[in-house]
Structure 1
């Protein structure tokens, strides 16, 4: 039994109704919309492990590092991604995400119930955790680290650790995601004999921790794996730290969590209240919880990607205090109404969203921003070559071309590419002086770029040199070929699809042909009435034709499929 909690009894403390309410709430926070640029190369990497027959991968996707060792420390997660996709399809990955989120936080809720002594306190604390973490709950292997942390805490927090359970956990975790390093840090905290410090207890803790650390050496990169996950957090000079997701939450740009700053203040206040004797009589002081909170808060202040770890640490701090309050006799009659209210609230939060995997995947990964039409054109003409492509498109091109289009750089970042390569890419991205020379000196034969992100300026600049020609353009971007690049005698257009119809609408709008634009947009919308691009193009086309009421009706119907904040 936890040193923090009394015996749980009574029908209102039974777990399944609270877990049901929790599952609905956690699912409702699983609709974070984020451009899943890394997801595509994770799926492709699973395929690559099978093709190369080994987790020791050699790069075959870029022309800057072709043949180099690729330190993919998430190889097992990628293999699971690819296996899932082969069995259930790409869009079904939303089911994987929702299942993992629900499993993680329901397990965590059970832990919080144990340490708080109150089911309502556990549910509220766990809800706070998922609310803080929600902006970062995208479809990536990091979700395995959240599950791993929940399992680790359940096995060790206020319990005698069992090595036979911890060793398999870390053996799997180290090959799923780099978050195992944080797991080892937390393990050191919970193993430390805070209450009965003796030489024998320290030896037992050191033995258990060392065994778990040693088992983590069973991975394709050996000892190197311990350094890779910390590079972003500790190397302030790395240019990759300029990526928004890895910046400090106190810097502008990147993903933000609305509740993060408030939780830091509340967490600090809760920790300080343990200095008061009256508080310690009701809520026993737990140095483990404070230490985990300090560690995760410090990491989250360094990089916003670690906010998900702080979210769980904050819940650990909050639960005992909430439990002490909610165990009061005056509060007990409110337990059932609170359970019903939270269940209804969770259901209401889920209700507006579509649970159809195709629709949800489209929005949750921002599938609509990737170059489907350009990739279709490449496949139709069997094009292969060195491609200077938009960074966030690299993973998608790997999935679609399987190495036929070898990119300059992609989202694998410093697990493969050096700082100089990334800085050269940034030069082109910003259209800085010398960017044309950077593209051409790289040896690129093809150039693929979206219309945004300086796309118009970059395209115009390359075409004006006379050394590049436009091969294909669609609604999302352009594909250019360098002078001398071997092409088929006759270029084929992609088969009819939503993207070809959207492209027809785009080209007609450039000519000012509102009738043709509306016709093409209508055909695209008929094929995908819930798509972001089809909805926005049809609305825009109707407005251009003066059909304002119809335009708003289209958008209302689209939002009924999925209430995305990006449907405007």
Structure 2
């Protein structure tokens, strides 16, 4: 006899954080920066079976030493693309983000026996989690898994330290954030040693397990040498992390702002919630918890991109402190109305197997919504594309179809996509690899948009083509566009609603493309 699916209200609430996370993963298109050049690098590595050691993608830094520290992630990206195009790549990223989140969710679950607090804290983590398709997501996964393993040892649930050096072999080849794993082990070790030295009455790890942590740290340190650059990979990490052009000019490397929604979501919101919970909690925090909170908060204050590490480490701390902070305030909010799993089990409406149509309908509706948002269905149902709306697809189509090979100036945002679509026919002027170009060059690039002598600046690089944005909200781009139109030395080849392509004219007032095609310009499509 057919049985309807067993779905309880508790199942629906348990799945809510996962629904939020997957909804976010499928909501955002592929980014313009820091993705496309990685995909092209993966193609180069797979097809040539070599890992380039110098820049091959730009003409302004061509031949300059450049380490592909994320080479394995780039290979994975390209293989996913070959197997299932961009749709499979987006889906694979969603699975990786979900795997990282599940480690945090598990720690929230272990942190308290109050069901609603678990769901609330996990939902906060899902809302704040970074989900964009970037190689950094691999570090999210490994960092969360490192934290989960170390916390299992801290709470004496299980000892899985042996897996950390194995994970490090993969991590060091996937993303430069591998050093955060070493930092996390160091924080745990120092905090646990401090706890013993302070002779507090809090639970302390035995000396045997502290020695194990030291041994595992050394094994992880040795494992970082298992990459094509060996231990020179640390030079690459330091170069990227300390690059002045990134620190001063790239938005995500700027400190988070409390005045912006992004700053509140990625750091300040979780920070203040956790801080208040710590202050009002009757529970005495462990030195390890204090160390993780202070160090991760200080790190997150330095750059917006570092907020994710604070979220991974401290949302479980929020779950541990939140119930006690509520009791301390003598409040009876929604979160405290059901006190424990035992109490939940005693209440019929949480433990009785419910086959009510409403529960099944809600579960099916959630799955249906995620299916509609999936990269395979969403573009076909709602139209649009998986790419960011500002991606210059048609302009690049034109350049590709006409075989244009001269040196081209373009906005930085276009650089990564040009690498993916046009290399080696075209090389970028500048792209998302800001640390490769250096501060002086980046400032010179920025000066082009506001300097009346922009033609002289570009002439030094032998620029023959200009691919410019038509975004009316960016005044500097509009100024340059007007200056080009009024120059009389540049002929429009192509224009659409996003971009416009110019070629430098010869003394007779015609471009090379026009002489070949016999036309004055390409009309807007």
TM-score (norm 2): 0.79
Structure 1 residues 316 and 410, CA gap change in structure 2 (3 angstroms): same
1:544 matched to which residue of 2?
A: none
Inter-partner Cα distance in structure 1 for 2:342 and 2:294? 33
Decide whether the 8 Å contact of 1:246 with 1:304 is kept in 2: yes
2:255 to 245, 248, 251: 248
2:176 matched to which residue of 1?
A: 178
Inter-partner Cα distance in structure 2 for 1:311 and 1:492? 59
1:511 matched to which residue of 2?
A: none
Structure 1 residues 413 and 336, CA gap change in structure 2 (3 angstroms): farther
Structure 1 range deviating more: 167-176 or 193-202? 193-202
Decide whether the 8 Å contact of 1:271 with 1:290 is kept in 2: no
2:502 matched to which residue of 1?
A: 480
Matched residue of 2:68: which SS?
Answer: coil
2:288 matched to which residue of 1?
A: 288
Inter-partner Cα distance in structure 1 for 2:517 and 2:247? 38
Inter-partner Cα distance in structure 2 for 1:51 and 1:424? 35
| Shift in Å, 1:32 | 4.8
1:137 matched to which residue of 2?
A: 131
Any idea what the Cα deviations from partners look like across 1:208-253, whole Å, max 9, x if unmatched?
Answer: 1121022112223333433544666656x43553222221112777
2:388 matched to which residue of 1?
A: 367
Inter-partner Cα distance in structure 2 for 1:174 and 1:16? 37
1:351 matched to which residue of 2?
A: 369
What are the residue-to-residue correspondences of 1:400-479 with 2, within 5 Å? 400-414=421-435, 416-429=436-449, 431-452=450-471, 453=474, 454-479=476-501
1:336 matched to which residue of 2?
A: 350
Decide whether the 8 Å contact of 1:60 with 1:67 is kept in 2: yes
Q: In the alignment, is residue 146 of structure 1 matched against residue 140 of structure 2?
A: yes
2:230 to 222, 229, 246: 222
| Shift in Å, 1:465 | 3.9
2:216 matched to which residue of 1?
A: 208
Structure 1 residues 128 and 108, CA gap change in structure 2 (3 angstroms): same
Decide whether the 8 Å contact of 1:47 with 1:79 is kept in 2: yes
Alpha-carbon RMSD across the aligned residues, in angstroms, is 3.8
Decide whether the 8 Å contact of 1:409 with 1:421 is kept in 2: no
Structure 1 range deviating more: 94-103 or 370-379? 94-103
Matched residue of 1:158: which SS?
Answer: helix
2:74 matched to which residue of 1?
A: 78
Decide whether the 8 Å contact of 2:491 with 2:502 is kept in 1: yes
Inter-partner Cα distance in structure 2 for 1:13 and 1:290? 37
| Shift in Å, 1:189 | 2.4
Inter-partner Cα distance in structure 1 for 2:457 and 2:368? 48
What are the residue-to-residue correspondences of 1:294-313 with 2, within 5 Å? 294-313=294-313
2:85 to 89, 94, 103: 89
Any idea what the Cα deviations from partners look like across 1:149-195, whole Å, max 9, x if unmatched?
Answer: 22212222132654541112111111212222222211222345345
Decide whether the 8 Å contact of 1:32 with 1:138 is kept in 2: no
Matched residue of 1:68: which SS?
Answer: coil
Gaps of 5+ in 2: 1-5, 196-202, 325-335
Inter-partner Cα distance in structure 1 for 2:93 and 2:224? 25
Matched residue of 1:469: which SS?
Answer: strand
Any idea what the Cα deviations from partners look like across 1:337-385, whole Å, max 9, x if unmatched?
Answer: 99999x9599669839832415657879653211111111112111112
Structure 1 residues 105 and 465, CA gap change in structure 2 (3 angstroms): same
Inter-partner Cα distance in structure 1 for 2:367 and 2:253? 29
Any idea what the Cα deviations from partners look like across 1:281-328, whole Å, max 9, x if unmatched?
Answer: xxxx33323322222211111111111111122212112234666328
| Shift in Å, 1:392 | 0.8
Decide whether the 8 Å contact of 1:248 with 1:302 is kept in 2: yes
Decide whether the 8 Å contact of 1:436 with 1:462 is kept in 2: no
Inter-partner Cα distance in structure 1 for 2:135 and 2:315? 22
Structure 1 residues 94 and 218, CA gap change in structure 2 (3 angstroms): same
Decide whether the 8 Å contact of 1:22 with 1:106 is kept in 2: no
2:329 matched to which residue of 1?
A: none
Structure 1 residues 477 and 101, CA gap change in structure 2 (3 angstroms): same
Structure 1 residues 107 and 97, CA gap change in structure 2 (3 angstroms): same
Matched residue of 1:157: which SS?
Answer: helix
Structure 1 residues 162 and 227, CA gap change in structure 2 (3 angstroms): farther
| Shift in Å, 1:403 | 2.2
Matched residue of 2:309: which SS?
Answer: helix
Inter-partner Cα distance in structure 2 for 1:480 and 1:96? 38
Structure 1 residues 142 and 132, CA gap change in structure 2 (3 angstroms): same
Inter-partner Cα distance in structure 1 for 2:341 and 2:375? 44
Structure 1 residues 363 and 253, CA gap change in structure 2 (3 angstroms): farther
1:390 to 411, 416, 433: 411
Inter-partner Cα distance in structure 2 for 1:378 and 1:307? 39
Q: In the alignment, is residue 491 of structure 1 matched against residue 517 of structure 2?
A: yes
Matched residue of 1:245: which SS?
Answer: helix
Structure 1 residues 337 and 234, CA gap change in structure 2 (3 angstroms): farther
1:169 matched to which residue of 2?
A: 167
| Shift in Å, 1:473 | 1.7
| Shift in Å, 1:12 | 12
Inter-partner Cα distance in structure 1 for 2:100 and 2:365? 19
Inter-partner Cα distance in structure 2 for 1:254 and 1:468? 41
Structure 1 residues 12 and 382, CA gap change in structure 2 (3 angstroms): closer
